[in-house]
Structure 1
Amino acid sequence: MDVKQRCMNCMQDMRGFEVCLHCGWIEGSAPRELSHLVPRTLLAERYMIGNSIGFGGFGITYRAWDTKLDVQVAVKEFFPSGLVSRSAETEDVIIYSGDRRTQYEAALGRFLAEARNMAKFSNQPHIVNVIDYFEANRTAYIVMEFLDGQTLKSTLATSGDKLPVDVAISLILPVCDALNVIHKEGIIHRDISPDNIFITSDKRVKLIDFGAARLAQGEKEETLSVILKPGYAPPEQYRSKSRQGPYTDIYALGATLYRMVTGVVPEESVDRLVKDELVRPSEANVVVPEPISRAILRAMALNSSVRFQDVAAFRKALTGKFLVATPEDELARRRKRRLLVSVAAAVLLTAGVTALVLLQTVFKPVERIDSEAIQPDQLTIWLPDNEADQQFAYLYAA
């Protein structure tokens, strides 16, 4: 089929009509927003742009058609609304001057880094597949497989805000597998939430949107941009200078599962630092098994060292491989262990000091006698006798 016959809203055959019989889109319609690309714009001499299917503060996602592979794709355009604009007469973005230009150039670099990060995992079944990425129109684009379905957020909205526990676990485990792969590459996602978990029409689970992804830090502390989603972001994401790692994603994944089984978005982690009133999942929903409730709470521990340190451990806890302690019990156990270690160290120190004093007392060195300085008439030897001690004087003879 000639791509010109395709509806730019649903990509179905318009059969030569001006109005799509499938969705009602009218040929020649303006884009949904004036700043969006006009439908039928051709990018990289390959991708026919259709209507936008989503947009936010940092980018616009379009439905598109790959004229080379003859398949539907999704094209994400980098378009930070506070730094650029676009007029209806041009496809190029208009970059604001001054500091905002500098910010834009830095952000564009991060967008391309996102593309490279996602491209590393194109063959992973639970991560959205990146087909291509390129720069054009003074901005950049990422071409991804088109996913037919809806986000977990939309699924929850149409399911009474929560899911049966077994269904929730079945959706979270593929995300665990996806995170396990990216964490092994030293990358953290930093934006796990129901918005970025996609469920396809054939029930596949895909992790999407790596826009916030960064390399996990080593020993050197680095400044990271503050990227967070209230209710899902751990305390360390509220600070621009903070150490983040796999445990950062684990908190967000635990919070997502909390939302799925309780129907409630968890309170913000910074509020929990002041007064932690997070209701246990098993109390918010009595059908949540205690082992699952504990695993969620452990993943959402405010102290990052108390959380699961790798997603594989969280997965094992969710599948019943072992029972974990709650964060409170784990902290109490650690305090007790530290106390025992301190007491043992004090006992050993005391014993060591006592032993040293005794050794110094028993084995006190005897003053040596200078035999050469003794005169013959100065030497007296005492010999014991069974009846009485008698004193004999012997003259020393050389």
Structure 2
Amino acid sequence: MQDNNQKYTRIDQIPEDYFANKKINGSYLLIKEIGRGTFGLVYKAKDLSNPTNYSKDNFLAIKLMFVPNIKNENDRLREQEVRDEIKKYSTQIFNPRVVKIQDYLQWDNFLLIVMEYVDGQSLQDMLKEKDGTLTFEEIIYYFSEIALGLQGVHDMNMIHRDIKPGNILLTKDKKIKITDFGISHVKGFVYEGGSAKRTLKPSSPGTPRFASPEQYIESDASNDDKISFQSDIYSLGVMMYEATTGVELIKINDSRLFMPKNDRDRKDKNTYLLDQSLVAEIILPSAINPTINKSLESIIMKCLEKNVADRYKTANEVAKDLKAIGRGEKITIKKFRNEPYKNENIKKFENENKKFTNFISSFINTKVVPVIVCIFVILVLFILVLIW
């Protein structure tokens, strides 16, 4: 391989199919690019090390991610975390609803994950084809299958942490495959070298729109591992909400909370607006789509409870209720609370939010704004006179 890929430092800089027909350590042949995201490229590939796998239709998928540019101790820890999670995941035995990882390695300045190849499309692609919504029957089938796949992940003591339509693959015979465990998390203890080691909290919250409230707050609160399996259930609820309404649950805009990492950041940046996912009351799906099945709406809202204690306890419970209403059976769900997330750190962010909004209000009410507007108008008039 040529070394000229070293000049690239971001995925979006790499031309499409740049690595097509490249051999990886004599073991794998990259054929063509089949997907890309912010942090990685995915290639259709062949296994060169095993002649029995080198048949016409026996393909693999290989994800390429840059080895992090380590500038400090936090970068080093994050890079090690990525390697550890890949290693832990690749040794697990999952159910058929999860994409199997068969190898992981480093190639030049890339980390590679070798996975089962799924010949089909993502749930995200299917939603685009259907203008963002699915039928009742499609929602019952696909999301009960996704829930069962999540239960298989959770049974292995792992939390996916990035459940979203782009990470749900659909085979040509309509089977689901959960993929992309790049920020997954092993819960509780792992065993290394014969000794038990407690896992700490993850270092990043996941994709903002689909992340649960505790993934924001608890990721900054302490080193304790407070992220639960129910974080994935919240993400499942976001997907169902959007598939029934055709609209995003949360718009990512200036109201998104960017949490301060340390005291220095708090001094440098005092504009933190409280995140909608933490406090805002969720609009009922029926307010957007009046034809939604009421029992399905109850299931969705129970998945979307901000406080973990109010959500479904297991993904199996979600699958069970979805299949029940699909058969026309009645289910019993206590009235959803739709309450703000309860955490001692919320007050801190509410205070920051008030400081910022008060600052904006006082700025607008002063004479500074009219003066600035007048100066701007004068400058425009001056330029027009010169042009004339």
TM-score range with shorter-chain normalisation? 0.5 to 0.7
Partner of 1:63: 44
Asked if 1:273 is matched to 2:278, the reply is: yes
Partner of 1:228: 206
Partner of 1:88: none
Whether the aligned pair in 2 keeps the contact of 1:60 and 1:79 (CA below 8 Å) is: no
Asked if 1:241 is matched to 2:220, the reply is: yes
Whether the aligned pair in 1 keeps the contact of 2:97 and 2:175 (CA below 8 Å) is: yes
Secondary structure at 2:308's aligned position in 1?
A: coil
Supply the AA of the counterpart residue of 1:158: E
Q: How does 1:171-320 map to 2 (within 5 A)?
A: 171-217=142-188, 222-239=200-217, 240-241=219-220, 243-267=226-250, 270-276=275-281, 278-320=282-324
Deviation at 1:148, TM superposition (A): 1.4
Output one character per residue of 1:260-299: Cα deviation in whole Å (capped at 9) or x when no partner: 11111112693143331x2212332223211111111011
Whether the aligned pair in 2 keeps the contact of 1:217 and 1:244 (CA below 8 Å) is: no
Deviation at 1:329, TM superposition (A): 8.9
Between 309-318 and 243-252, report the one with greater CA deviation.
309-318
Distance 1:150 1:221, change over 3 A: closer
Q: How many residues align?
A: 283
Gaps of 5+ in 1: 1-30, 84-95, 332-398
Distance 1:208 1:97, change over 3 A: closer
Gaps of 5+ in 2: 1-11, 190-197, 257-274, 325-329, 341-388
Deviation at 1:40, TM superposition (A): 2.0
Between 158-167 and 108-117, report the one with greater CA deviation.
108-117
Match among 137, 157, 160 for residue 128 of structure 2? 157
Partner of 2:29: 48
Distance 1:299 1:233, change over 3 A: same
Between 177-186 and 297-306, report the one with greater CA deviation.
177-186
Distance 1:140 1:113, change over 3 A: same
What's the TM-score, normalizing by structure 2? Answer: 0.66
Distance 1:247 1:199, change over 3 A: same
Supply the AA of the counterpart residue of 2:129: T
- Taking only aligned residues, the RMSD between alpha carbons, in angstroms, comes to 2.9
What's the TM-score, normalizing by structure 1? Answer: 0.64
Distance 1:119 1:53, change over 3 A: farther
Partner of 1:337: none
Partner of 1:73: 60
Whether the aligned pair in 2 keeps the contact of 1:112 and 1:140 (CA below 8 Å) is: no
Supply the AA of the counterpart residue of 1:227: P
Whether the aligned pair in 2 keeps the contact of 1:115 and 1:142 (CA below 8 Å) is: no
The answer to which structure has the higher helix fraction is 2
Q: How does 1:11-30 map to 2 (within 5 A)?
A: none
Secondary structure at 2:209's aligned position in 1?
A: coil
Match among 100, 117, 130 for residue 89 of structure 2? 117
Whether the aligned pair in 1 keeps the contact of 2:90 and 2:103 (CA below 8 Å) is: no
Secondary structure at 2:210's aligned position in 1?
A: coil
Deviation at 1:200, TM superposition (A): 1.5
Secondary structure at 1:279's aligned position in 2?
A: coil
Whether the aligned pair in 1 keeps the contact of 2:307 and 2:339 (CA below 8 Å) is: no
Whether the aligned pair in 2 keeps the contact of 1:115 and 1:130 (CA below 8 Å) is: no
Asked if 1:107 is matched to 2:79, the reply is: yes
Deviation at 1:138, TM superposition (A): 4.9
Output one character per residue of 1:199-228: Cα deviation in whole Å (capped at 9) or x when no partner: 12221111010111102358x894421223
Whether the aligned pair in 2 keeps the contact of 1:128 and 1:208 (CA below 8 Å) is: yes
Deviation at 1:56, TM superposition (A): 2.8
Higher relative contact order, structure no. (Cα contacts within 8 Å, ≥ 6 residues apart): 2
Supply the AA of the counterpart residue of 1:310: T
Secondary structure at 1:75's aligned position in 2?
A: strand
Partner of 2:383: none
Secondary structure at 1:305's aligned position in 2?
A: helix
**Aligned-residue identity in percent:** 26
Partner of 1:368: none
Secondary structure at 1:114's aligned position in 2?
A: helix
Whether the aligned pair in 1 keeps the contact of 2:306 and 2:339 (CA below 8 Å) is: no
Cα distance in 1 for partners of 2:289, 2:304 equals: 17
Output one character per residue of 1:158-202: Cα deviation in whole Å (capped at 9) or x when no partner: 102101011112011111111111112211000111111111222
Supply the AA of the counterpart residue of 1:323: T
| Bigger-Rg structure (1/2) | 1
Cα distance in 2 for partners of 1:40, 1:185 equals: 36
Cα distance in 2 for partners of 1:292, 1:104 equals: 44
Deviation at 1:32, TM superposition (A): 8.7
Distance 1:34 1:244, change over 3 A: same
